[in-house]
Amino acid sequence: MLKGKQSWTFANAPAILTTGVTGGEMEGEGPLKDDFDLLYDDNYVNEDTHEKAHRKLLEDAVTIALKKGNLKKEKVQFFLAGDLINQITPTSFAARTNSIPHIGLFGACATSMEGLALAGFLTNYNGAEYVLTGTSSHKGAVEKQFRYPTDYGGQKPPTAQWTVTGAGVALVGKSVGILKPIPKLTSATIGKVVDMGLKDPFNMGGAMAPAAVDTIMTHHKDLDHGPNYYDAVITGDLGQIGNKIAYDMLQEKNFLIDRERLIDCGMLIYNKEQNVFAGGSGAACSATVLYGHILNKMKKGLYKRILFVSTGALLSPLSFQQKETIPCIAHAVAIEFA
Amino acid sequence: MSPKQPLTTKQKDYQKLENKDEIKRPLLRNCIKAFLVGGFICLIGQCITVFYIYFFNFTEQTASNPTVSTLVFISMLLTGFGLYKKLGQLGGAGSAVPVTGFGNAVISAAIEHRSEGLVLGVGGNIFKLAGSVIVFGVFSAFVVALIKTIFQLIGG
Amino acid sequence: MSNRKAMKVLMVILIACLFITTGCMDTKKKGDAKWALFKTTNPNPAVLNETSEEFAFSEEIHKFVLSFPEIYDAAIVVGDKQVLVAYKVKQMQRFKMKKIEKKLKKKLEKKFKDQNRKFTVSSDFKIFLEVVELNENLKDEKYSRKKAKKHFKKIIKLEKEKT
Amino acid sequence: MLPMFFWAFVIGGLICVIGQLMFDVAKLTPAHTLSTMVVIGAIAAGFDLYEPFADFAGAGATVPITSFGNSLVSGAMQEAQTHGIIGVLTGMFEIASSGISSAIIFGFIAALIFKPKG
């Protein structure tokens, strides 16, 4: 149901039934390694190119999610997924493998919540019984497309972020008849594109923070929540800098959220010692951390309800070279463990 | 949207805020590291030059050619084993400006695009990064040499 | 951590370079030629036609060349029609190397006009090295003078093709 | 000779510091920085400044990418001496070919041997 300007509330409480999370080498060395279902110690994932590895990570995540739910893939109506590569080919190829009716999505790194919001919407209104949604990214493949060849020795500034290699997939279905508590989707906010005129492609956090702030504030306003309604407001991949800016901006706009409630996935996924500059990024950053780490924490009772905001920078190498600014977007989904 | 579109006040305000929270590039440390790494590479170059002068028939002038080739060869090994990007992160311009950085740009592009085949991938993309160096080098050299030649014709 | 690994590899390469440069020297070059580039050798000038006049002439050139304030080391071989002068320029004067070369050649030709010989001057380290080597060889009485003349010509050729 | 090693280190290092300033202060991409440095090298060669500089610093001046611009100009000038204006066109790569050809050759070999490291 539409609520406020751009938010939906889900009365029939669609839920995240199972998840599948895969990761690569760096993720296995990070602090969240126990929250991954499958970790590869080689970024090639036994394939011969990074692009094929990219696809394999998503395929594996889908397989794991279905297996955990004891569900045949024929039972799933839709597969909503996307990634960062040109024409989202890794996702399309993965959709070819699992042959579930597929809607390809692109929202850069915000794709994960775009997919989850739509999946919630579809199941809420009986558009589907089961929907698979997820995103994946691969550092080698993404760097090749957006920046330099992986072996090029360019110096990255401290504002740069490290693209996560991995995939996170969630199986969304109705929660009717399930008695034990599971993570349920209660509402979602679709963000609008915000452009603050930043041009540095090595400072994504700084570019995306205003979009996140816009979506967070709109969500709270649409749903009439106070700033500390959620136990945690978790952003996708703002990194250290974006997180700080987002907090400062919220304070400035008199949205007095507690400091420790504003968390960022990009800061959780790696150790400081891993030399990842300002933190993790990429489409898989929000998906792997939410579907792995955060949901596990909710199951342990650490958070009861959260607002998950994934942020995306909608640039391409072409638009950057043509000196365009970086437009950004953020989508939010509220998850309650009940 | 034209790139020269002026920023709105909102954008300006935000950029001020953003600038405050952004982690600054450690300029001094970067420069020192660039100095050390770059100097070190040139020192190796000097060693190789002396080596060629001593043991082959190269004079000081001609020895720079095999030196460059040798450095590019070393750069190939470092790039192939994934070490040059680590050196690049450490040294910044110190590893990009010497000819090893040029080699790295060419070689990394070649390795990266091997998956698209030898002709379209390697052949087509090998100068993806370093091509601009050649283009600007050749064109500026052409202009400089042309002006100089004309001056010599007039003056001499 | 990983940066250290990269540094280690670089160190190995540098050390390997040093070893090759120093290690090979022992086997190939002898006497002064071994360190000719690194220290001031100032070898006695050599002549191809060993007469006392020639020796005196070569000594004179040597003194004259060394009288230039920019030059600190010189090796000279006097041939039949040509004189080969290799010298080293002080580091801070190396900016003016081309000028020094021209000046030296001019002054040599002017001073020794009556000798009617061609002067080949070079500040190139390689030429210097070769001249010192030839010099060393000439010290050896048994060294074939024919070979020496060949070597002499080779050096002049090397100097010519330089540019 | 020994002071040359020292100066090769210092001058080479200083050129790299200039590059670093272009990276960090002017916020140029590596490609912009390197192209600019090559152009600087070519202009310096035009004023006959680069060669004395290379005499002084040895590899400190020949190893940085600026020397590429220099060798392009001096190759063109050399050819221009013998063939006139046409030489400017034809002599360009007379000296500068070693860097490019070895980069291509080793690049191709590397593409056959190595895989990108993730």
Nearest of C51, C117, C41 to residue C86 by alpha carbon: C41
Domains and CATH numbers, chain A: 2-174 (3.40.47.40), 183-337 (3.40.47.40)
| Per-residue pLDDT at C114 | 79
* Residues of B with Cβ-Cβ distance to C158 under 8 angstroms: 57, 59
- What value does the mean pLDDT of chain D take? 91
Q: pLDDT above 70 covers what percent of chain A?
A: 100
What do you get for the CA distance between the two ends of chain D, in Å? Answer: 43
B58-69 confidence digits (pLDDT tens): 888 888 899 999
Picking from D23, D30, D116, the nearest residue to A50 by CB comes out as D116
CA distance A238 to A252: 18
Q: Is C1's Cβ below 8 Å from some Cβ in A?
A: yes
Alpha carbon of C35: minimum distance to chain D alpha carbons (Å): 10
Say yes or no to pLDDT of A222 above 90: yes
Q: Which residue in this structure is represented by tokens 């005499």?
A: D55
Q: Give how far B57 is from chain C: nearest CA, Å.
A: 8
- Contacts of the segment B143-147: beta carbons below 8 A, 24+ positions apart: B144/D42, B144/D43, B144/D45, B144/D46, B144/D73, B145/D46, B145/D72, B145/D73, B145/D76, B145/D77, B145/D80, B145/D88, B145/D92, B146/D85, B146/D88, B147/D46
- Which pLDDT tens digit goes with each residue over A70-86? 999 999 999 999 999 99
- What sign results for the dihedral spanned by CA atoms B144, B145, B146, B150? positive
Residue with token string 């929540």: A225
Q: Do B38 and D16 touch (CB under 8 A)?
A: yes
Tens-digit pLDDT string for chain B (156 aa): 444 567 788 888 888 888 888 888 899 999 999 999 999 999 999 999 988 888 888 888 888 899 999 999 999 999 999 999 999 999 999 999 999 999 999 999 999 999 999 999 999 999 999 999 999 999 999 999 999 999 888 876
Helix (H, G, I), strand (E, B) or coil at A181: coil
Comparing A336 with C55, the larger pLDDT belongs to A336
Indicate left, alpha or beta for D44 from its phi (over 0: left) and psi (-120 to 50: alpha).
alpha
Q: State which amino acid sits at residue A223.
A: L
Average pLDDT over residues A2-19: 94
Average pLDDT of span A112-138: 95
- The set of chains that have 3 or more CB pairs under 8 A with A is B, C, D
B86–C18: do the CB atoms touch at under 8 Å? no
Residue corresponding to tokens 């910044």: B92
Give me the mean pLDDT over the C81-109 stretch. 88
Q: Do D53 and C95 touch (CB under 8 A)?
A: yes
Tens of pLDDT, residue by residue over C10-63, are: 667 667 666 666 555 544 555 566 666 777 777 777 777 777 888 888 888 888
How many contacts does B have with C, using Cβ atoms within 8 A? 65
For the cut 50, the answer to whether the pLDDT of residue C1 exceeds it is no
pLDDT exceeding 90 applies to what percent of chain C?
0
Q: Give the model's pLDDT for residue C111.
A: 86
pTM for the structure as a whole: 0.90
For A24, the closest chain D residue by CA position comes to D118
Predicted confidence (pLDDT) at residue A62 exceeds the cutoff of 60: yes
Q: Domain map of chain C by residue range? A: 30-160
Residue C4 or residue B89, greater confidence: B89
**Which residues of A fall within a CB distance of 8 Å from C2?**
275
Neighbours of chain B (3+ CB pairs under 8 A): A, C, D
* Contacts C1 to A, Cβ<8 Å: 273, 275
* pLDDT in the model for residue B2: 45
pLDDT, residue C78, reads 86
- Average pLDDT of C129-153? 84
What are the chain A neighbours of D30 within 8 Å (beta carbons)?
148, 154
Q: What is the pLDDT of residue C32?
A: 60
pLDDT tens digit sequence for D14-65: 999 999 999 999 989 999 999 999 999 999 999 999 999 999 999 999 999 9
| Predicted local confidence at residue A154, as pLDDT | 87
pLDDT at C123: 87
Residue A120 carries which DSSP code?
H
Q: Rounded mean pLDDT of chain C? A: 79
Answer whether C91 sits within 8 Å of D7, measured CB to CB.
yes
Q: Quick one: residue C42, left, alpha or beta (phi over 0 = left, psi -120 to 50 = alpha)?
A: left
Q: If pLDDT is split at 50, 70 and 90, which confidence band does C81 have?
A: confident
